[in-house]
Amino acid sequence: MTMTMNPKSTARVAAALALAVVIPAIFWIAQGAVAGLITAGWGWLTVLVFYFGRRRSEAVQIVSGVGDERIRSLNVRALAVAGFVMWAVVTAWWLVSAATGDENDSVGILAATFGVSYIAAAIYLGRRGG
Amino acid sequence: MNNRVREARAAKGISQAALGEALGVSRQTINAIETGRYMPSLPLAFALARFFEIGIEGLFEPEKGDLK
């Protein structure tokens, strides 16, 4: 199977590796060595599954976003579906918390971040033309 | 969009994997194109047409409703 590594794919792998180092480090500092090591184990296991699993499973390859133009296209569409679900959940959560008088600042910030970044992306992509 | 990739590939006597290898895409992508589940990008469509040495119109034909 052909594996195309374009700059965006390389950046994605680099980001995953960075997270697999940074997240355990934070857990180590905040909760101690055991929590850090457990988090590191899960983190590196996830990285290994995505790195080696994409050669065996197309679903894993789509999630990794590393592959040819069809894989990258499916990765974007899968992200759009997940983004839509996240938008629906966060908006519903925010509305329920507002309606019950227990307004949750974190959910409000998440909803606002989604809305602003969505509009900003639409403006940027529209101006870029595609 | 209809395409004649499968026919062109069969005429050339090569496998989906070999075609994918030549164009830098996976065998699954070639299969998805042949079965109409995936519409290739314009650069890949041109690469396919060049590979088979036929015009792009000879390889891909829009269906009624594709051009609105």
Beta carbons of A69 and B40 less than 8 Å apart: yes
Predicted confidence pLDDT, tens digits, chain A (130 residues): 444 555 666 777 788 888 888 999 999 999 999 999 999 999 888 888 877 777 788 888 898 888 899 999 999 999 999 999 998 998 898 888 888 887 778 888 888 898 899 999 999 999 998 6
Distances (CA, A) of B17 to A62, B27, B36, B46: 19, 5, 17, 19
CA distance A79 to chain B (A): 18
- Give pTM, 2 decimals: 0.77
- Residue B48: other Cβ atoms inside 10 A: 25
- Are A117 and A74 found together in one domain? yes
- Are A28 and A75 found together in one domain? no
Distance CA B36, CA A107 (A): 42
- Are A63 and A97 found together in one domain? no
- Are A48 and A94 found together in one domain? no
Distance CA A102, CA A45 (A): 39
Beta carbons of A70 and B38 less than 8 Å apart: yes
Pick from A68, A72, A74 the residue to mutate for testing the B interface (most B CBs within 10 Å): A68
Domain encompassing residue A112: 70-130
Total structural domains within chain A: 2
Q: Is B42 helix (H, G, I), strand (E, B) or coil?
A: helix
- Are A23 and A63 found together in one domain? yes
